[in-house]
Structure formats: structure tokens, C-alpha cells
Amino acid sequence: MNHDTISQSISIVHPISLSHGKNAEVWDTTGKRYIDFVGGIGVLNLGHCHPGVVEAIREQATKLTHYAFNAAPHAPYIELMERLSAFIPVNYPVSGMLTNSGAEAAENALKIVRGATGRTAVIAFDGAFHGRTLATLNLNGKVAPYKQKVGVLPGPVYHLPYPSADNGVTCAEALKAMDRLFSVEIDVNDVACFIIEPVQGEGGFLALDIEFAQALRRFCDAKGILLIADEIQSGFGRTGQRFAFSRLGIEPDLILLGKSIAGGVPLGAVVGRKTLLDSLPKGGLGGTYSGNPIACAGALATLDAMTDAHLETWGSQQEEAIVSRYHTWLAQGVCAVLGRMTGVGAMRGIELVNADGTPASQQLTQLLSLAREAGLLLMPSGKSRHIIRLLAPLTIEPAVLEEGLDILEACLRQLA
């Protein structure tokens, strides 16, 4: 496989070349079939080539392939924003803008909060991932490889421990760290926003502590600080409900969307309180490709499929299958390095740890190779790349899901 014309700074998890896919299965250019538990890193909640999405894209491509919305509005953008505003489960009027990606949504959110608050400082969390653009790099709660060799990053940005039952950080510990931050590092009145993932993706599928989420919401309200929920990976049904913040009993001020928003077509959005989205001057937001008509058509078809009944059924079926198999593996002792299960709903991770409690990163690397050879694609996560990230399409056929879990079990048994 010749990759000489592609930057060697791009890291590739699976050294294969894919040809085509259908729902939760993909085939490489040699004709080998794989069960896909990666899903384009959380982009394909509706699977590869969902018929409704494909048809919507095909139909739109015969009408209008592109127009820059800020030059002249087009119907797909307008309809999608109306549908999205109704789909977001909050009690306030929703406004927003479409972007090309989740990272671009995060970048625009930073502009919005600066315009709305007159403040610049941002508080993010250890283990976070919000993108690969220059400003979002500084939000990420991990240096290697994202922040290496790129010098001083836009700020100011500060980080706090991410409290979760999945990583052992308690609400009390996180609140204590927050108290220290505002006592030692920065004046609370200079903080524009907190940005947080309701369930961390890159960090290892860690579910945010509910008590902390509610305490953070109260703190932000008291101090005039905005709260941004990054739902780029956890949204659009990944946890079994529309968005993961709903389980926390809070409403964010801004919500970042991306990944599965358009069934595989590049699209993102930043949505939230209308007063915030209107805080910048005319022309302060926009973009040439943002809200491309074809991407909007894919997103509209995605929303058609994502009824609450579908999401609940898909999420519960996948959760039950994964959790049941995990506990069976644990009881049977199928693998010496099998650790905890992380996450919620159908957004699940499986930790690999050594007997002394250290991350079993080498074993996970071995597992990726074994599974790929056996016809299963997996994705690593976690600070030490020791957590299996399970991102099969929500629409995966039960028999295919079981087949994939069978392969995973067989490969876990082979780990040294």
C-alpha cells in the first residue's frame, strides 16, 4: 500500500484500504469483509450507506450541489435549522449555525462566548478532545500527540480533573480542584465558559458525574459563565437518547454537534440560546461550505430516522448485548487484562489493565491486530490507548453484533 503522497503525520489505526460498506460491514480492496465497530469514529450511527441518507443525497445532488449560505440562503439549510431547533431537548428558544465539522463548531463557539461575555478564559477538562484546529488543541486534555511541536496555543485555557465513576475522580475532588483554580490561577470573573463532554470520547468513554454536572451548572449561573456541552461524539443517539446531556439533568448554553449529524457527510453545528448566537456583529459567523446543501440533505434524512422510539430500541438492544457479554467474559476470566467497562448506553469502552493496575497498552495494540485479522475493526481510546472504544452503528443487525462480539471474545482469549 503506497502512502508516499500522504502526510506521514497522519496516524493510521488499521493499515487496510476500504472499498465499500453496508450498515455495520465494510470490505477492503482485496474483498475481505470486516464488522465495523469503529463507525468512522462515531460518524456512522446510522451505518454505512443508510438508504434514506443515500437517497436524500442523490436527490439533492440533482437540484443544488452548493451555495454559500451567507451569499444567498438555500432551503436545505433553513429547513435543517428548523428541524434541529425542535430536535434539541431544551426548554429555551434554539438558534444556531452550521459548520463543516465538530472542530469548526468548537471554534465558532469560542468566538460566540467571547462576544457574549466580553471574557476570554476557557475551562476545559483532563482527557478532553474537542478537535485538531489550533484553538481546539488547547482545549484538549492531552498533550501527545496533538500539542507536540506546535508551540504556543491560543488561550487562555485551564484544565480541571474530569469527574466520573469510570476514572475514579469524585465530584468532591473536581470541585476542590476548581476552588483551587480560582484561588490560585485565574480570577473567576475573567472566565467566559466551561466546555465539557457529557461522555468523553477520546478520553475513554467516561460518563460525567451527574452531581458535578449539576453543581457546575449552578456555579456557572451564579458567576455569569457559559456552559458548552460537546456532543459531537455522544450525540445523535449514541447513548440511547438524543443527547447525553439529558441524563445529567442540566441544559447547556451552547451545544456542539458533528460526527453522526449527517450520516457520513461532513457537517457540524453550534446551537444554543438565541441571545448568544446573535451576540456577534453581522458577518461575524459564516463560512463558504458551512451548511452545504448536500450535507443538509443528509442531516435531514438522519433526523427522519432518529425518532425517540428508534433511538431507545437501538440503544437498549446494543447496550444489553455488550454489557451482558462483558459480564460473561469477566465471570469466565476470558482475559487476564480485562478491566472495567466504561460509558453509558451504547457508548461503551472496555479497559485493558495489567495485574498491577497499569494500562495494558501493548495488549490493546495486539488486540487491534488480532481482531482485524479475524474480521473486526476496533478503535482505541484513553490517555494510554488502553480502552477499546465500541462504536458500532446503532442500526447494526443483532446477528452481526453478536458475530462481532464473538470475534472480540476469541481475540481477548488470545492476548498474551
pLDDT at 221 over 70: yes
- How far apart CA 230 and CA 200 sit, in angstroms, is 9
- Quote the pLDDT of residue 232: 98
Do the strands 33-36 and 376-377 form a parallel or antiparallel pair, or are they unpaired?
A: parallel
**Site of grid cell 455569569:** 224
Q: What is the pLDDT of residues 303-345, one digit of tens each?
A: 999 999 999 999 999 999 999 999 999 999 999 999 999 999 9
Q: What was the pLDDT predicted at 150?
A: 73
Given a contact cutoff of 8 angstroms between Cβ atoms, the answer to whether 236 and 45 are in contact is: yes
Query: Residue 34: which pLDDT band, with cuts at 50, 70 and 90?
Result: very high
Q: What is the DSSP string of 217-280?
A: HHHHHHHT-EEEEE-TTTTTTTTSSS-GGGGGT---SEEEE-GGGGTTS--EEEEEEHHHHT-S
Read off the pLDDT of residues 78-102 as tens digits, 9 standing for 90 and up: 999 999 999 999 999 999 999 999 9
The pLDDT of residue 1 is: 56
Q: What is the percentage of the chain residues whose pLDDT exceeds 70?
A: 99
> What's the pLDDT band for 148 if we cut at 50, 70, 90?
confident
Q: Are 208 and 139 in contact (CB under 8 A)?
A: no
- Sequence-distant (≥ 6) Cβ neighbours of residue 382 within 8 angstroms: 203, 204, 349, 351, 359
pLDDT, one tens digit per residue, over 124-144 is 999 999 998 888 888 888 777
Q: Say if residues 341 and 377 touch (Cβ distance below 8 Å).
A: no
What is the structure's pLDDT at 2?
Answer: 62
374 CB contacts (<8 Å, ≥6 apart)? 407, 410, 411
Determine how many CB atoms are found less than 10 A away from the CB of residue 408.
26
Between residues 3 and 161, which one has the greater pLDDT? 161
User: Average of pLDDT values for 100-118?
Assistant: 97
Which H helix or E strand runs over 112? helix 102-117
d(CA 50, CA 388): 25
The pLDDT of residue 138 is 85
Confidence bin at 193 (pLDDT 50/70/90)? very high
267: confidence class by pLDDT, cuts 50, 70, 90: very high
Q: Which domains does the chain have, with CATH numbers?
A: 18-50+308-414 (3.90.1150.10), 53-305 (3.40.640.10)
Mean per-residue pLDDT for 171-187? Answer: 98
**For 218, left (φ over 0), alpha (ψ -120 to 50), or beta?**
alpha
Q: Give mean pLDDT, residues 257-283.
A: 96
Q: How do residues 40-69 score in pLDDT, each as one tens digit?
A: 999 999 999 999 999 999 999 999 999 999
Q: Which helix (H) or strand (E) holds 305?
A: helix 293-305
Q: Are 186 and 178 in contact (CB under 8 A)?
A: no
Cα→Cα distances 98→49, 66, 79, 368, Å? 22, 14, 12, 35
Q: What is the mean pLDDT of residues 357-381?
A: 97
Residue (of 119, 120, 163) closest to 141 by Cα position: 163
- Dist CA 110 CA 400 (whole Å): 41
pLDDT band at 392 (very low <50, low <70, confident <90, very high): very high
